[in-house]
Structure 1
């Protein structure tokens, strides 16, 4: 191999551990790798920038706008309202949940689908008296399975098909070509979840139950109307820098002062709500002018239009990961106060300010009403939902948003337009019809995913042009003894392993040239290998970190790492068995 090939292998070999083990975003890591390869002369500028001009990348971007239009008009809420109902058993409840989710995920990016469903499912589980963790992991898995039904189901399918079209234009797949395999995979996977997987789910409470009783993590005191604290600011009263407590809100004459600032003046009979440990009550009782509040109902159980109680799931990209809540100035940055933290289904005890945040932690926040819209697209949070909030009203344009999506599917499936053209037209109609505002369209674009895809093209090009892909392909052929089916198995295992550790798009795009070089060396049909890359990249059931929807349900469901291994392990094996058995039958070598 040439020096450039060794450099390309070294860079790629460094990128995957970095994405798996560091908190740096995959887009930043991959962009850094492309810049390094370009600087060292391993790739040319046009190769480094090829991903940014890819039709597949723009197709994904326009589909994000279509998804945003359905979310903004309440299209998914409409389905939730009419489909969930009141089933009489747990298995029927799972059936009513999983089948529609799998169907929707065949045409919509599954991340917003799951994000919309989670708050509804938690509320629904309370009404049915079914623990939420019996539903949330199957929800994520069903969305992943549904994404294999069509090219639109996941961005990875579109990107891999785009790479295929660039290499072999005559072999490009149509919208529903992979349904011949995707439908059997979805049927087998859903049957497993309904018949076997539900018996493997944990019997453990989730975040909603951990936050159910506010008196477990809050202390309420009142300001003595004849005491020395009246008309003093929070700072002057010594309530700003308590050791084990945070002053969260002040209830005053039927109203509430939320996310209390240091300059807020105290009034007689103010009801002060502190978040923290019971040991902190001793500290409060030593402050002259404060007395225990004897009102019955907790202030946090009351509805005030000036504040919202919000559950937020911490992303693995959150800037506060590894930091203590007090040191990170969380309240200053977000305008929200942390009331409690739930991890693995249990509320984290001890001094609230000393808790170091971890990915998938669920935070109970007290915030002002604009917080939800302002931070809903924040990279720091996977999910933001209002606690016991009313369902969003169904917009009269929901039918129009769904109709536009259906039109895109028909145009692309019939061959009247290319997938890119149909998605572009659908996005334009969504904005022009008012289904999606310009601001919502911008917020709907997942820039991290788009940058990850674009940068991955540069690394794939480096492996291919330097001969590193051919070298790895020859090594793989040696291990497979020239047998195409064994090579197919090896390709599936490689991509499936990488997608559990890093983003599925990067795993698929970077391994694509290696897999193609292997197929070309054997002189066999490349389509089986392309399809295997698509399905292996989606088969992410083993860990909560392998797929974003898994991480989204991890905290609210109170799951542990081993829960995914137990339930998802057999599902991974079943998926692999179906894919590796049917692929050569549908697309012969």
Structure 2
């Protein structure tokens, strides 16, 4: 290989462990890799920026707007309300959840589908008296399976099809061409989850059990009206920097002051709510002017319009990961106070301020009402769900949002216009008709995914133009003894392993030039291998970190790493068998 080829291989080899083992954003790692390759002259500016002009990238961006319109109008909530209902058994409950989710995920990006379903499933599981852990992992897996039914199901399908169209224009796929494999895979996967997988699921209570008794993690005191703390600020009263406690809120005269600042003045009979350890109660007892609360009802159980109790799932991109809550000034940055932390289905005991946050931790927060909208699309949190509020009512334009998506599907399916044109028209109509505001459309676009896709194109171009892809393909052919069938198996296994460790988009885009070069060297059609890349990139069931929806349910379900391996391992094997058995029958070598 040439020096450029060796440099390209070295950069790609360095990129994958960095994505798997560091907290640096995937988009930043890949963009950095592109900068390195361009600096050393492996690729030129045109190749480095090619991803930003890709039809696949823009199709994904416009589809995000369509999904945002359905979410904003309550279109997914409508299906949830009519779909879940009151099943007579756990088995019936599984079917009521799995079938609609898998179906919907064939037409919508599965991440917002799961984000909308999680809070609904948490409340639903309480009503039917079943642990949430029995439903959240199947929810994620069903959404992944449904995403394999059409090109719209995942951003990876759209991007790989864009690559295919650019390299082999005559081989470009229709919207439902992959359904010949996707539908059998989804059907078999859903049957497995409903009949076999549910017996392998844990029965832990998750966050619902960990947070069910606020008295275990909050302490309430009252300000003595005759004491020395009256008319003093929180700072002056010495309540700002307590060792084991945070002052969360003040209840005063039927109202609540949430996320208390240091300058807040104390009044007689104020009811103070502290979060922290029970040992901290001893410290409070020693402060003159404070006395135990005489009211029986817990303040957090009351509903105030000035306060929201919300659960958030910490993202692996959160800037507070690895930091202690107190040291990171969490309350100052977000305007929210941490009441409790749940990890692995259990509340983390001990000094709340000294807890180091980890990805997938579930935080119970007290915040003001604007917090939810302000941070709904934050990269720091995978999921935000309100604990003490009603679900948003279905908007009267939900039918219109669904109709626009249906129109996009029809136009693209029957070839009236390209998928990019149909998605662009649909996004424009969603904004013009008021189904989605311009602000919601901007927030709905996952910029990290879009940048990851764009940067991945640069790495793929470096492998191809430097000759590294062809050299690696030749080596791969030697390993599989130049057998088309063994090469197909090898491609599927390689991409499935990579997507379990890093993002599915990066795994698919970077391996695409290697896979197509191998097919060309072997003298066979590249189509079976491209389809294998699509399906293997979505086959992420064995770890919580391989797919975003898996990480989203990891904390709320109270799962452990081994739970994914126990339930998802057989599912990975089943889906691989279905895909590898059907792909050569539909797209011959």
TM over 0.5: yes
Q: Which residue of 2 aligns with 1:292?
A: 292
What is the rounded CA distance, in whole Å, between the counterparts of 1:543 and 1:497 in structure 2? 10
* 1:151 aligned counterpart, secondary structure: coil
What is the rounded CA distance, in whole Å, between the counterparts of 2:389 and 2:142 in structure 1? 25
Q: Deviations over 1:46-100 (max 9, x none)?
A: 0000000001100000000000000000000000011111001011111001100
Contact 1:320 1:328 in 2 (8 A): yes
* 1:152 aligned counterpart, secondary structure: coil
What is the rounded CA distance, in whole Å, between the counterparts of 1:479 and 1:336 in structure 2? 55
Q: Which residue of 1 aligns with 2:523?
A: 523
Q: Which residue of 1 aligns with 2:211?
A: 211
TM norm structure 1: 1.00
User: Is 2:110 the counterpart of 1:106?
Assistant: no
Q: Which residue of 1 aligns with 2:429?
A: 429
What is the rounded CA distance, in whole Å, between the counterparts of 1:206 and 1:533 in structure 2? 34
What is the rounded CA distance, in whole Å, between the counterparts of 1:342 and 1:245 in structure 2? 17
What is the rounded CA distance, in whole Å, between the counterparts of 2:301 and 2:16 in structure 1? 46
Contact 2:505 2:537 in 1 (8 A): yes
Q: Which residue of 2 aligns with 1:454?
A: 454
* Structure 2: gaps of 5 or more residues: none
Contact 2:248 2:337 in 1 (8 A): yes
Matches within 5 A, 1:317-466: 317-466=317-466
* 1:566 aligned counterpart, secondary structure: helix
Contact 2:303 2:388 in 1 (8 A): no
Contact 1:123 1:388 in 2 (8 A): no
Deviation at 1:560, TM superposition (A): 0.5
What is the rounded CA distance, in whole Å, between the counterparts of 1:573 and 1:530 in structure 2? 20
Q: Which residue of 2 aligns with 1:192?
A: 192
Contact 2:65 2:427 in 1 (8 A): yes
User: Is 2:558 the counterpart of 1:553?
Assistant: no
* 2:341 aligned counterpart, secondary structure: strand
* 1:87 aligned counterpart, secondary structure: coil
Contact 2:322 2:357 in 1 (8 A): yes
* 1:267 aligned counterpart, secondary structure: coil
Q: Which residue of 1 aligns with 2:148?
A: 148
What is the rounded CA distance, in whole Å, between the counterparts of 1:17 and 1:57 in structure 2? 25
What is the rounded CA distance, in whole Å, between the counterparts of 2:465 and 2:420 in structure 1? 27
User: Is 2:187 the counterpart of 1:179?
Assistant: no
TM norm structure 2: 1.00
Contact 1:8 1:468 in 2 (8 A): yes
Q: Deviations over 1:435-493 (max 9, x none)?
A: 00000000001000000000000000000111111111111100110110100000001
Contact 1:249 1:259 in 2 (8 A): yes
Matches within 5 A, 1:115-264: 115-264=115-264
Deviation at 1:513, TM superposition (A): 0.3
Q: Which residue of 2 aligns with 1:33?
A: 33
Deviation at 1:388, TM superposition (A): 3.6
Aligned length, in residue pairs: 589
Contact 2:150 2:177 in 1 (8 A): yes
Contact 2:308 2:388 in 1 (8 A): no
Q: Deviations over 1:336-387 (max 9, x none)?
A: 0000000000000000000000000000000000000000000000000100
* 2:205 aligned counterpart, secondary structure: coil
- Tell which deviates more after alignment, 343-352 or 577-586: 577-586
Deviation at 1:204, TM superposition (A): 1.0
What is the rounded CA distance, in whole Å, between the counterparts of 1:459 and 1:530 in structure 2? 18
Matches within 5 A, 1:479-558: 479-558=479-558
Q: Which residue of 2 aligns with 1:76?
A: 76
Deviation at 1:21, TM superposition (A): 0.4
Q: Which residue of 2 aligns with 1:313?
A: 313
* 1:153 aligned counterpart, secondary structure: coil
